[in-house]
Chain A
Amino acid sequence: MSLVAEASAGLRRSLPPARASRGLVVASLAVCAVMVTPLAYLALRAAEADASSWDLILRMRTVWLTLRTLGLAAAVTIAAVAVGVPLAWLTTRTDLPGRRAWAVLVSLPLVIPSYVGAFALIAAFGPRGMLQQLLEAPLGVERLPDITGFPGAFIALTLFTYPYVFLLVSAGIKGLDPSIEDASRSLAHTRWTTFRRVTLPSLRPSIAAGGLLVALYALHDFGAVSLMRFPAFTQAIYLQYKGAFDRTPAALLSLMLVGLALAVLVLEQRARGRARYYRSGAGTARRVTPIELGKWTWPSLVLCGSVTLFALVGPLAVIVFWLIRGFAAGTDIELTLAPAVGSLVVASAAALAAVASAFPIARLVARHQGGFTRSVERLSYTGYALPGIVAALAFVFFASNFAPWLYQSLPLVVIAYVVLFLPQATEPLRGALMQMGPRVEEAGRALGRTRRHVYLSVVAPLIARGALAGAALVFLTSMKELPATLLLRPTGFDTLATSIWTGAAAGLYSKAAAPALLLIAICAVPLYVLVRRVEVEKIEVPAE
């Protein structure tokens, strides 16, 4: 039994299967009704399958595809946790020099779209890429080893997804009650033992949540795997649409991908563990004495520096290079603001809508475990498991035929984003609700306050951090979204992602570079606020 479980035994109890209120059930059913759209579409298309479509799917190649894709997702998840957790701990609990700046820098790769990042990696580290050209004169290196294939896909996905783990685990660490660690230290345990036996087990839910987001991202991502030429599941789906124009096998493959995602979800539910980790309230948060790194300072700096170099500086340098070369060649690079405004509007709306939709689901999962909750939770993940084009075609089909007034409108784009990214809002909210514990609300109610009052004055402030993190994640991911935006946007409506696509599709990197830089710059702002806000909170608490 882990120390934390012993230490927090007083706070811990197994939850009685309390009945969810009718409002909560109705709200979650409403969310599910929208979330089920892609599945309903896929079922409809799969129902058209005849023997030949099944023949296409049921063969050895599909087994290899499954194993390869799962292998990639597993490797990326392990690597993202291995990178994200130490970075989170270093930037929140130690005296690492410049740790607040590092916290911002190492979260920034989240805003780099994986298709842009992968492209930049190839340009930088390809056999005759920019790095080779730098090395040719001094060292005579004529070509570097090819990174495409599994290594490239693995590196690209890890570099651009570990921030999910980093952000969720950072939030998890900040939500921990430091007195439990102090208790462990007072029992003469070393820092390492304390980290291993107290901190790490308490972080299990946030590590599992971050890992889940990474694993599902790796399953549904198409941009990075296709650029790195790694034949994954999504590539097989795209080939059916784009090469063979056959929607039925594409639907069968997509349903299998959803199946894989659900399997991953079950794994995560196991990893999350039965135990509940929460403290009695926010009152115990206070300034934590940072751990002195001592001789570990330099290795830690090297870790932060190299992650920043590969995941942020590298891609940025390549984009800036393209831009400068474009200017030098006199390419007509115009930077219009309309796409930026378009991106901001839909991504903000999606962030708000996603948090609102995530709340009933997160609450069900955190408070009312049971069969109904499990179904709702799993359903809410199906959109996130699918490549954007599949969800987009589902909305094309339903909206154009049954709701033409909604078709090719901004609200539809927002709805599609929510379906695609809902778990990014659910996970942090659930984490916050779980850390809060049910007794807080019970106490409020016992003191004679109305449910609404308890929510506004007690619950809302405590879960604000989770809601903010969720909104930020959905906002950032929506800013980067491309396939669904292309198919569902109103005609003539541009976002930064579609502007990047317009340039890149024509092979004009300099034209893609300007909107890419603007996208990263705009996304950096909310990310900076998110990372800093948590810092500020912590400083203010002891002053109260």
Chain B
Amino acid sequence: MKLRKLIGTAAAAALVLGLAGCGDDATPAGATEPDDDAGASLTVYSGRDEEFVGPLYEQFETDTGITLDVRYGDSAELAATIMEEGDSSPADVFVSQDAGSLGAVAAEGLLAQIDQEILDRVDERFRSSEGTWVGLSGRARVAAYNTDELTEADLPDSILGFTDPQWKGRIGFAPTNSSFQAFVAGMIATEGEDATREFLEGLVANDPRLYEDNSSTVRGVAAGEIEVGFVNHYYKYEVAAEDGEIPVENHFFTGGDPGALVNAAGAGILTSSKDPDAATRLLDYLTGEQGQTYFAEETWEYPVVDGYAPAVELVALDDIESPEIDLSDLAGTLEPALDLLAEVGLL
């Protein structure tokens, strides 16, 4: 396996040298450009799991001739890695599960300005205001509920309704999970620290069952350990793909409710990238038709580019009216969120 890789790298290197000799056309990248990057290779740090995005990367390689060396890992750990590597990072592109990790790397000045044409495709809520990262797909916070125990009508319109004592012993979530923490940070940003503390204390008073991550939470709902779990919307589909039919439905919060945060998975190009053109091709691809269709159909997420619709039945992003927060700033407000979670005893 290693040998094949070595030969592949050598071949790629030879091709690159060969092409460089043919002269540079300096064409701007775009979806319809000919494969002038063929033979180039990119190192991608991917915080998104191989299971879910591996096929998309492979499709990109086939379509463009650009080789991807993908390093999979946890988004935050990869962000920490890039921050330690600094200007010596071998990575060209960082693909992350959440906006927070991208914001943290951008804050260190390690992400380059992205092509304006690509930025403009993406809904403003789902990209960096400085143009250093771009969202690839959207993920909504929902209350996943057990359909054997509850109907949609039993559930409160606002997430604040779950502090009612009637929910004692019936709810659960994953407080160490970054998407839950981002939701708390978002709530601090829109509702203020006191209201958020009151909400969290209300949850704690209801004796929630705490899980390690979102998929365990959904499995807890499916098994009837809890009736309602606060998770991202697509976990119900992920768990069903693995476990078969599960009695779980998503309850969306709408109308700008603090429970309605929609976060973005996204990508950025490193300032140290040795091939920013090929890296731009990758971002172009991921925000283009192939990428957006893939995220809608294969990972059950919200496309973030106009003209593409979710493939599963999801409440429209416009109805959710996600609270107005700059997702890049969430990384900066996470510290108070962690403090608050610790203060009320959830961490």
Q: Which residues of A contact B (CB under 8 A)?
A: 56, 61, 126-128, 143, 146, 148, 226-227, 229, 231, 235, 239, 241-247, 325-326, 329, 331, 338, 389, 393, 396-397, 400-401, 404, 407-408, 483, 486-487, 491-492, 502-503, 505-511
Residues of B within 8 A of A56 (CB): 335
| Docked pose: A326 CA to B70 CA in angstroms | 26
Are B76 and A242 touching (Cβ within 8 A)? yes
Residues of B within 8 A of A389 (CB): 77, 80
Scoring A226, A241, A244, A508 by chain B CB atoms within 10 A of each residue's CB, the highest score goes to A244
Residues of B within 8 A of A487 (CB): 73, 77, 81
CB-CB nearest in chain A for B224: A128
- CB of B5 to closest CB in A, whole Å: 6
B48-96 contacts to A, CB under 8 A, are 49-52, 69-74, 76-77, 79-81, 83-86, 88-90
Residues of A within 8 A of B21 (CB): none
Scoring A148, A338, A492 by chain B CB atoms within 10 A of each residue's CB, the highest score goes to A492
Of B121-129, B235-243, B246-254, the one with at least 4 CB within 8 A of chain A = B235-243
CB-CB nearest in chain A for B175: A229
Are A243 and B225 touching (Cβ within 8 A)? no
Are B238 and A401 touching (Cβ within 8 A)? no
Q: Contacts A231-B347, A400-B89 given: A241-B76 contact, CB under 8 Å?
A: yes
Are A247 and B51 touching (Cβ within 8 A)? no
| Docked pose: A243 CA to B177 CA in angstroms | 8
| Docked pose: A134 CA to B286 CA in angstroms | 47
Whether B259 is near chain A, meaning CB under 8 Å from some CB there, is no
Scoring A229, A505, A508 by chain B CB atoms within 10 A of each residue's CB, the highest score goes to A505
Listed A/B pairs (9) with beta-carbon separation below 8 Å: A146-B209, A235-B176, A243-B181, A338-B1, A492-B70, A503-B51, A505-B51, A506-B50, A506-B51
Are B338 and A148 touching (Cβ within 8 A)? no
Interface of B is mostly: helix
Are A505 and B69 touching (Cβ within 8 A)? no
Q: Contacts A507-B238, A508-B242 given: A245-B69 contact, CB under 8 Å?
A: no
Are A507 and B212 touching (Cβ within 8 A)? no
Are B88 and A401 touching (Cβ within 8 A)? yes
Whether B342 is near chain A, meaning CB under 8 Å from some CB there, is yes
Chain B: interface residue total (CB-CB under 8 A): 55
| Docked pose: A511 CA to B242 CA in angstroms | 9
Are A507 and B347 touching (Cβ within 8 A)? no
Contact partner of B225 among A126, A244, A401, CB < 8 A?
A126
| Docked pose: A486 CA to B74 CA in angstroms | 9
Q: Mark B317-347, 1 if CB is under 8 A from A, else 0.
A: 0000000000000010011011000100001
Are A243 and B77 touching (Cβ within 8 A)? no
Whether B307 is near chain A, meaning CB under 8 Å from some CB there, is no
Q: Contacts A491-B43, A507-B215, A510-B242 given: A401-B74 contact, CB under 8 Å?
A: no
Are A396 and B84 touching (Cβ within 8 A)? yes
Are A242 and B178 touching (Cβ within 8 A)? yes
Are B338 and A244 touching (Cβ within 8 A)? yes
| Docked pose: A144 CA to B212 CA in angstroms | 19
Contact partner of A61 among B178, B223, B238, B342, CB < 8 A?
B342
Residues of B within 8 A of A242 (CB): 74, 76-77, 80, 178
Are A229 and B212 touching (Cβ within 8 A)? yes
Residues of A within 8 A of B242 (CB): 326, 329, 331, 507-510
Scoring B73, B181, B224, B242 by chain A CB atoms within 10 A of each residue's CB, the highest score goes to B242
| Docked pose: A508 CA to B242 CA in angstroms | 6
Whether B229 is near chain A, meaning CB under 8 Å from some CB there, is no
| Docked pose: A409 CA to B186 CA in angstroms | 40
Known: A393-B84, A506-B238. 6 other contacts (CB 8 A): A245-B104, A338-B1, A389-B80, A400-B89, A487-B77, A492-B71
| Docked pose: A492 CA to B49 CA in angstroms | 13
| Docked pose: A402 CA to B49 CA in angstroms | 30
Q: Which 10 A-B pairs have the closest CB atoms?
A: A507-B215, A245-B104, A506-B51, A242-B76, A397-B84, A400-B85, A506-B49, A128-B225, A128-B223, A396-B84
Residues of A within 8 A of B225 (CB): 126-128, 143
Are B80 and A245 touching (Cβ within 8 A)? yes
Residues of A within 8 A of B73 (CB): 486-487
| Docked pose: A407 CA to B70 CA in angstroms | 16
Are A492 and B69 touching (Cβ within 8 A)? yes
- CB of B75 to closest CB in A, whole Å: 9
Scoring B79, B84, B225 by chain A CB atoms within 10 A of each residue's CB, the highest score goes to B84
| Docked pose: A226 CA to B174 CA in angstroms | 11
Residues of A within 8 A of B204 (CB): none
Are B212 and A226 touching (Cβ within 8 A)? yes
| Docked pose: A483 CA to B49 CA in angstroms | 16
| Docked pose: A383 CA to B299 CA in angstroms | 39
